[in-house]
Structures are given as C-alpha cells and as structure tokens.
Chain A
Amino acid sequence: MSDERLISPDISPLTSSLISLGGINRTFYLGDSQVHALRDVNLTITSGEYIAVMGPSGSGKSTLLNLLGLLDRPDEGSYKLEGRDVTTLDADELAAVRSERIGFIFQSFHLVPRLTAAANIELPLVLSGFPKADRAKRVSQALQEYGLTDRAHHRPNELSGGQRQRVAIARATILRPAVLLADEPTGNLDRSTGEEVVKLLEKLNAQGMTLIVVTHDQALGARARRQIRMEDGGVVSDIVSAK
C-alpha cells in the first residue's frame, strides 16, 4: 500500500510513467577517441515493470543503468523520473533522489567490510538521518524478511555469497525505492544461489517495485517480461513478452 502512494505524483494515472528518457546521448572521451556510449535512447518505463537490459560488452547498458540511477548525466536529452525533470538537478538534489527513489544492487555486492550485516542494511537510513529507534525497528524487520536474523552481527567475510547479496538487496530496498537497479546481480554467485537471489528480486517486483536488471545471462534476461537489447549505444529491440 505504501508503494502505491509513492508512485507517480502525476495527476493523471493514465499518462503516468515512472521513467521517461527522450533523445539521450552520452559520449565519453578516452584520449583522442570518442566513445558514443548512448545514442538517441528513448525509453518509457512504467511503474512495476520487470525489465532486462541485455547486450554485449560495451553496448552501453551499464552507462544506461548509471544514467537511470542518477550517477551519470546525459550530454543531451531529457530524463523524467516520476514526472520530474532530473537532468536539471544539482549534485545534492540528485543524491537526495538517489537516496529515496533508487536502490542499487551490484555484481560484487559492495558491502562495507568492517560493518556487520545489520549495519550494512542500516547504512541508507543512517545516511538520510533517520532517528535511531526507527532504524533499529526497520533493520530487524528487513533482517527477518530476508532470512538474515541469525547473521545480523556477522561481517560480510563471514557470510556466504548468497547471504551477502541478500544483505545488499535488503540494503537497497530498506528505504522502499521506486526503482531497483541490478547490475549482473547473479554474476558472482553459483547457479542455485543465483536462482534464489533472482526469485527474491522477482518477489519484490511482484510487490510493485520496478525492477531493471542488466545482464549478459540470456536465461536471466529471458525471465523478464520486457527485454531491451542494446548494441553500440542504441536500443535495437524492445520486446514485451506476453506472460
């Protein structure tokens, strides 16, 4: 129910799109050579979608993900997140939007090694200045949801790969973001734990959270309802499978 409330401040629910990219271009300069990482990307994502972004290395899918996650800015084009033009925001405003609306999941988990599982999950709450009592409640709830209660006081090096990624997912979702961006979430996991993690992500999606997964893995990509294929910085196919 809280998800419903967070989605789209737009007046009309019919025109509401969570993300709308228009004419996005992004070029990097590596020495003398230009790399056109994104060419004229137009994309509309509605709330609650399950999207896989696929393509070979260097096709621009990571750049797209960074851009969607507000870690990068386009050279050209417009990006509206929940109806709000985010290309004009300054760094601090972007940080605030990242903190509240976007959850990241990385291939290499990116847990802070000296912090316990609980403290890692608590990190977004700490950064956005939540009161302490509130934090403890939310963290213990998250630990329970992700089956990590008995691992709460273990450091990342005492956790298995699957547990680490579960901690990372708990951390990414503790502030109930609108979008979950996952970059090769199973890349560092074996098959069965990878499967477990994907199921967890799909469960979150089923609860209404928009899920965007970047992956090389065809099998993982095939599970998404919408598959976006990229090549040379452009979107070459955008298929919504009827599942």
Chain B
Amino acid sequence: MKIADTFRYAGDAATAAPLRTGLLIFAMSIGVAAVVMLTALGDGARRYVVDEFSAIGTNLVIVLPGRSETRGFNPANLVTSTPRDLTVEDANALLRLPEVKRIAPILVATTEINAAGKLREAMLLGTNDDFIKVRQLKLGIGRFLPKDEVGHGSAEVVLGAVIRHEIFGNENPLGKTVRIGDRRLRVVGVLAEGGQGMGMTTDELVIVPVATAQAMLNSNTLFRILVEARSREQIGEVKTRVLKTITQRHDGEEDVTVITQDAILETFDKILNVLTLGVAGIAGISLAVAGILVMNVMLVSVTQRTGEIGLLKALGATSAAVRQLFMVEAVLLSLSGAMVGVGLGYLGAAVLRQLYPTFPAYPPLWAVLAGLATALISGLVFGVMPARRAAQLDPIQALSKR
C-alpha cells in the first residue's frame, strides 16, 4: 500500500466519524494550547522581570549597607553589631577605582512637595549629576542636577513627569520654586515620562542633590550606591575592588553587600525558567491525558471496524498494512489536535498581551515544538496498542462479526 493511500484511507476513516474525531482533536488541542499558553505566561514573566532589571542600567554593581549573609561567629560581631553608614565619601572613594566609570549615590525618603497652593506626597531621591546617565533616564525639559561640590548641595530640584503635571499643569515649571519639606527649591528640569526600573516609576520622583537631601533628612547614610563598570568584562573586578575599598574604609569590617546586575538577572532568569518548565510540565500532563484518550478512541474504532479489518485482510492486506493504517490515523488525529492547539495557544497568548500590554506573553519556540512533539509521540505511543490489536485480529472471526 502506498504511503499517500495509507494517509488518505486513514484520513477518510477519521473524518467518517466527525463527532468522535472532533472531540478527540479538541481534547488534544486543549492539552497543546495549555502548554503553549502557560509557557507563554511563564516566559512572559521571565522577560518582564529581566526587562525591568535591564532597565535600571548597564554593567551595574550595586552597593547596599549591611551584610546579607552571615558567616558564623566572628569576633568583630561582638564589637560592632550595627553596620557603619554608607556615606557619600564611600561613594566618592569608589569613583577613584580605575574600572569604575560612574557612580550614583542614592538616598530615598518619602516627602511632601508643596507649590502653587498644591500639596502632594512624593518620593524624594537624593543623588548626583551622574544618576541620569547611570540609570539611563531621559530628561524632558531643562537640565539635570549640577555637578556637586562635595558637601554643598544646591537648592535645585528635578521633577518627575507626573509630579510636574499635577502641580504645574501645562505651565512651564522651570525656574519656579517649590517647597519640599521645609526647604524652598528651584525647579531646573523635568524627567521624560515613562522611566521604569525595579518595579517603580520615575514619574513620581523629586530628585535633589544628595547633600541637600542629607541636610533635609538630617541623615548621613546612603540607601544604595550604584556603580557603573567601564565594560561588562570588568564587572567582576569592580565587584571585588568595591568590596575591598569599602571594607578598608570601614575599619576592615565587611559590612556592605555588593551585588551585580548580571547576578540578579541570572538568578531571576534561572528561577523563572524553572517556573516556566514546571508550568509546561503540568500542562504536559493534560497532553498525556489526551494521549490516553487517543488510545481509547482508537480502541473503540478498532472494535467498531472489526468487519472492515477482516475485509482488508481478506482482500490481501498484510498485518503490517493494517497496523500502519491505524497508527497513521492515531498520529493524524494527534497532530491535527496539536496544530489546532498551537493556534489556540497563540490566540490565547495574543489575548493576554491585549489585556496586559506590558506583559510580553509570547510562547517560546521550544515550548511550541515540545508541545507538538509530545502530541506526536503520544499519538504514536498510544496508537501502538490499538493498531496492534487491529493487526492481530483473526480475519475469520472479524468477518463473521456483523
């Protein structure tokens, strides 16, 4: 029997029972669609997080006060239990390292901004002139903070786009005075809209020089220091030297944590990949169920078509030919279910993207291929038993059955 004829015959047999075939294709397609959609979701989550972290800048090394890991008992712990402050001087010391391109000290607090008779809560961010470059933000109008002379913060402020809009409306805010806390500051610039990173928007920030912020908050400690390495290759080097420098400055005690952007990215990438795989595995179970359904339907089909099988044998079909017919039918059913499923999955992912435009829910190619392959394999595996049963039917008994 020719291959094309085998396919045609098996296809005819499948379409001759439209309800059964339709239900089976539906079941298989749900399995595949689940794999495609859930992996799209998982992979979308991964991309979302990675994008968020990539958006905070490139080649970043981040310094946090305090140790994030304990290393058992250390005599130093007896003497000093609280970490030293991370200061602006620490930050400036890091700038002297050769591999460091820029640094941006960060100090954060909530505050109120008051201008033109309007009062609003806002996030105060004290930093330096390089912040905008380190974080790769864009300026809407005016200019960013001036290069500061150490310890002397100017009374200038850069507003987030939303703050500016809510306080000044369409008026030009440049040169106007706002009151933040108990200080009067002059607006010198406004950030462009839509700055993102680490899950927060820059639209609602008010940015002042770090020294000004310290004076306003009466505090000497920094929240973070962002360090930008000159190149990607130097990130590791920068990390160790930053740690060394600060340890030296802090009387030999390692009381800061240095993390790299790459490490964070990698960790999230790993975690979320595992998550995606896990979700795909769960969806894969529905594929196995669909496979068992294929077997069930094919077994019923063999029973219903006993007479036909007997006839084929009487007409000179070999057992192998009969087996092939039923295998091909099972595979055709599984595969068409899988195709429909991929279509449904892509449709579902598209709907998700429509509903949550910020969420990049694209099904990864490997998942689509794996879904198709699993459907094909389950069709093959679960088709074997019914096909063998058909091939082994005794033609005499098969023919006498009516």
Contacts and interface: CB of A to CB of B under 8 A. Distances in A.
Interface of A: 66, 69, 71-72, 91-92, 95-100, 104, 106, 108, 110, 112-115, 123-124, 126-129, 171
Contacts of B317: 95, 99, 127
Contacts of B312: 123, 127
A72 B311 CA distance: 14
Interface in B272-293: none
A110 B311 contact: yes
B12 A124 contact: no
Interface residues of B, number: 25
B310 A128 contact: no
A71 B314 contact: yes
B396 to A, nearest CB: 5
A106 B318 CA distance: 20
Contacts of B116: none
B98 interface: no
B182 to A, nearest CB: 89
Contacts, number: 66
Interface stretch (B1-9, B57-65, B207-215): B1-9
B320 A115 contact: no
A98 B12 CA distance: 25
A95 B13 CA distance: 22
Given A106-B399, A108-B402, A114-B12, A127 B320 contact: no
Given A71-B314, A91-B318, A98-B315, 8 more contacts: A66-B396, A96-B316, A99-B316, A99-B317, A100-B316, A124-B316, A127-B1, A127-B315
B277 to A, nearest CB: 43
Given A110-B307, A112-B311, A126-B5, A71 B395 contact: yes
A100 B318 CA distance: 13
Contacts of A110: 307-308, 310-311, 314, 399
12 contacts: A71-B399, A95-B316, A96-B316, A99-B317, A104-B314, A106-B399, A110-B310, A115-B12, A123-B312, A124-B315, A127-B312, A127-B317
Contacts of A92: 318-320
A106 B396 CA distance: 12
A11 B310 CA distance: 35
Interface in B319-339: 319-321
B79 interface: no
B46 interface: no
B318 A95 contact: yes
Contacts of A128: 1, 316
B313 interface: yes
Interface in B9-26: 9, 12-13, 16
Contacts of B314: 69, 71, 98, 104, 110
Indicate the member of B1, B310, B312, B316 with the most A CB atoms within 10 Å: B316
Contacts of A108: 402
A192 to B, nearest CB: 24
A114 B313 CA distance: 18
B9 to A, nearest CB: 7
Given A66-B396, A114-B12, A114-B16, A123 B320 contact: no
Contacts of B307: 110
Contacts of A114: 12-13, 16
Contacts of B313: 71, 95, 98
Contacts of A71: 313-314, 395-396, 399
B319 A91 contact: yes
A129 B2 contact: yes
Contact of B321 (A98, A106, A112, A127): A127
Contact of B316 (A66, A98, A113): A98
Contacts of A123: 312, 315
Nearest to A104: B314
Contacts of A96: 316, 318
A104 B12 CA distance: 24
Nearest first, the 3 closest Cβ-Cβ pairs linking A and B are A99-B316, A114-B16, A98-B316
B64 to A, nearest CB: 72
A106 B395 CA distance: 13
Contacts of A69: 314
Contact of A129 (B1, B308, B320, B395): B1
A147 B402 CA distance: 27
Nearest to A66: B396
Indicate the member of B13, B310, B313, B315 with the most A CB atoms within 10 Å: B315
B402 to A, nearest CB: 6
Interface string B360-402: 0000000000000000000000000000000000011001001
Contacts of A99: 315-317
A126 B1 contact: yes
A92 B317 CA distance: 8
Contact of A72 (B2, B320, B396): B396
A72 B310 CA distance: 13
B294 to A, nearest CB: 20
Nearest to B391: A91
Nearest to A72: B396
A96 B321 CA distance: 12
B19 to A, nearest CB: 14
A123 B315 CA distance: 8
Contacts of A98: 313-316
